[in-house]
Amino acid sequence: MSLSTVNGKAVPGRSASVYSEVQTSRLDVLLPLPSVLQGPFSVVDGPKSSAAGNPDEIAKLFPNLFGQPSASLNAGDASSALSKDKSLKIGVVLSGGQAPGGHNVISGIFDYLQQRTTGSIMYGFRGGPAGVMKGKYVELSSEYVYPYRNQGGFDMIASGRDKIETPEQFKQAEETANKLDLDGLVVIGGDDSNTNACLLAENFRGKNMKTRVIGCPKTIDGDLKSKEVPTSFGFDTACRLYSEMIGNLMTDARSTGKYYHFVRLMGRAASHITLECALETRPNITIIGEEVAAKKQTLKNVTDYITDIICKRSEKGYNYGIILIPEGLIDFIPEVQQLIAELNEILAHGAVDEAGEWKKKLQPQSHELFEFLPRAIQEQLLLERDPHGNVQVAKIETEKMLLQMVDTELTKWKQEGKYKREFSGQCHFFGYEGRCGLPTNFDANYCYALGYGAGALLHSGKTGLISSVGNLGAPVEEWTVGGTALTSLMDVERRHGKFKPVIKKAMVELEGAPFKKFASLRDEWALKNHYVNSGPVQFVGPRSNIINNTLLLELGA
């Protein structure tokens, strides 16, 4: 049992005594570092940067940081290296949903401070950004950090969804930074959290505080990426876990010969996970939200697409198949958004009557869509409301909705003689079980480099950058390390009459290599069975260093 202190009080770390053999075997695995991080290095600035959009507005929002260059680490001789005599006080915070590898980012920062500075102190803020605001932290020792090396989850210091964004909240963060005499803070999070990290960096800089802020790209959804930040950590592990299970369902479907498995996959805003799992496992049908939106498809279009393939497969003797659906599908369908908006309006002004008179208040298209929905979904839309009285879109089980709509459609087709078989579906949602898996070797190594690099950026006095590790298709030794100006990733959105900075979510690009490869193969996958069972994640052996298809294709491999 390792002991450490939270605000001066002794607390146990993870007890190693309940570790499984696989967990234990992962603890002592040596993490390779990119060669630039193995010896002396210098931090070199690139050219002045701009913004992803509306640079004038971004410049106004970040007067101190806008335009600052990105930085890259170059291997150098000992004379150019940062001083090892320096002693730093660094905080780290986990923000938002878990992603496999977070513990390794922390391990990377910790090891950097141990190996490259002298007498440094590292604090872990507990429970996310709220920990920064409330000054709730634990001082990290090697005994405290060790049991989390290469382990999944965010439980070392836990995470939270609070944001540091109001003047009062910035004030609280300042107080904590001053009280702890922080030289730096590493914010591990997604697009929102990194936007907040940049605002915090701007705020600290504006007040001439010494505390620097560096971000790290985290999200299993894979929607925080750019030219300089090739992927967010956790995406690789989550997709591998989901793909293993999808592959098993494929084997099951082929063995049984009688089920269509409707699989909903986590990832609300973007469909990267669904696309990656499709590239890995080759299902018969895959719905990509971004394509549905671009083609302005209706729910009926999606239903018809699925129904048609099921029908064609039955003619080939296949009465089974696998269908992948992104969690956020209905957010991509304009007519559904319209219906929900109208329902919220109607329900805010009174109850609905049993006889259905209220439906007359719906626009014709919305009325038609409502009648097209399965009864259970209709009831869900009318009955389950959030505390503001709004329809709870997130609670709709899209895979069940589609299954029922396809079933209804097939029954019609059967009556018309267009379909002759029995249809039987099974529903699955793969989500939470993928967020906290043991990180793959890729995520473990990537995160360690992100953390170690973040330490180097803080050591060299950088702020407002996001730790960036590149050349990921090459062996770890050849990976590049640096920091990208967070302002360069930003655009603005107008909310409540004000410009708010945002790092735009990276959506599935219909012209990008991953989607184009998928699109070129899906018709063949639909009618033939090219299922791939990728098997459980392996940690040892050559196949243990596989990189996900999305990243490989985006790298042009």
User: Could you say whether residue 241 binds a copy of itself (CB under 8 A)?
Assistant: yes
Considering only 256, 337, 378, 392, the residue that binds a copy of itself (CB under 8 A) is 256
Among 95, 104, 117, 159, binds a copy of itself (CB under 8 A): 159
The answer to the question of whether 419 is labelled as a binding residue is no
Helix axes 375-383, 334-348, angle to 10 degrees: 50
Where helices occur in 416-440 by DSSP H, the ranges are 432-435
Total residues contacting a copy of itself (rule CB under 8 A)?
58
Q: Which two tokens stand for residue 531?
A: 């299922």
477 is in an annotated binding site: no
Can residue 25 be called a binding residue for a copy of itself (CB under 8 A)? yes
| 86 vs 268 by CB, closer to a copy of itself | 268
CA distances from 167 to 130, 157, 384, 410 (A): 15, 25, 36, 57
Instruction: Select 437 or 483, whichever has its Cβ closest to a copy of itself.
Output: 437
Q: How far is residue 455's CA from residue 439's CA, in Å, rounded to a whole number?
A: 21
State yes or no: 191 annotated in a binding site: yes
Q: How far is the CB of 291 from a copy of itself (least distance, A)?
A: 24
Does 124 bind a copy of itself (CB under 8 A)? Our answer is no
CA neighbor of 384 nearest in space, from 342, 338, 430, 340:
340
The pair of three-digit structure tokens given for residue 509, joined into one six-digit string: 């690009």
Q: Select 132 or 506, whichever has its Cβ closest to a copy of itself.
A: 132
Q: What is the Cα–Cα distance from 195 to 164, expressed in whole angstroms? A: 10
21 vs 85, beta carbon nearer a copy of itself: 21
What are the structure tokens assigned to 11, written together?
């607390």
Amino acid at 541: G
Number of C-beta neighbours around residue 367 at 10 A: 15
The span from the CA of 552 to the CA of 545, in Å, is: 13
Torsion of CA 219, 69, 473, 26, to 10 degrees: -50
Q: How far is the CB of 18 from a copy of itself (least distance, A)?
A: 5
Active site residue 308: no
Asked if residue 14 belongs to a known ligand binding site, the reply is: no
245 binds a copy of itself (CB under 8 A): yes
d(C-alpha 65, C-alpha 509), whole Å: 29
Q: Tell me: does residue 481 bind a copy of itself (CB under 8 A).
A: no
Q: Which of 98, 117, 286, 463 binds a copy of itself (CB under 8 A)?
A: 98
Q: Is 426 in the site for a copy of itself (CB under 8 A)?
A: yes
With b for 16 or more beta-carbon neighbours within 10 A and e for fewer, the 379-392 pattern comes to ebbbeeeeeeeebe
Judged by CB under 8 A, the stretch of 204-212, 365-373, 431-439, 442-450 that binds a copy of itself is 431-439
- Scanning residues 490 to 549, which ones bind a copy of itself (CB under 8 A)? 530-543, 546
d(CA 219, CA 188): 9
Residues 269-328 that bind a copy of itself (CB under 8 A): 282
Q: What angle do CA 361, 365, 370 make, to 5 degrees?
A: 70
User: Residue 436, interface with a copy of itself (CB under 8 A)?
Assistant: yes
Rounded CA-CA distance 379/365 in Å is 19
Q: Which of 308, 229, 220 is nearest to 271 (CA)?
A: 220
State yes or no: 289 annotated in a binding site: no
Closest CB to a copy of itself among residues 516, 543? 543
CB of 335 to a copy of itself, least distance (A): 27
Pick the binder of a copy of itself from 22, 78, 351, 355 (CB under 8 A): 22
Q: Has 219 been labeled as part of a binding site? A: yes
Please tell me the distance from the alpha carbon of residue 321 to that of residue 424, in angstroms, as a whole number.
10
Is 258 assigned to a binding site?
Answer: yes
DSSP 362: S
Of the candidates 438, 98, 440, 428, the one whose C-alpha atom is nearest the C-alpha of residue 246 is 428
Using CA atoms, how far residue 94 sits from 44, 121, 232, 406, in Å, is 28, 18, 14, 41
Interface residue with a copy of itself, options 433, 509, 523, 524 (CB under 8 A):
433
Among 428, 500, 504, 522, binds a copy of itself (CB under 8 A): 428
Which one of 251, 378, 392, 411 is in contact with a copy of itself (CB under 8 A)?
Answer: 251
Residues of each annotated binding site: 97, 191, 219-221, 258-259, 266-268, 327, 432-435
Question: Which residue ranges make up the site for a copy of itself (CB under 8 A)?
Answer: 18-23, 25-26, 97-98, 127, 151-155, 158-159, 241, 244-245, 247-249, 251-252, 254-257, 259, 261, 282, 426, 428-429, 432-438, 530-543, 546
Q: Which residues are catalytic?
A: 221
Residues of each annotated binding site for Mg(2+): 191
Residues of each annotated binding site for diphosphate: 97
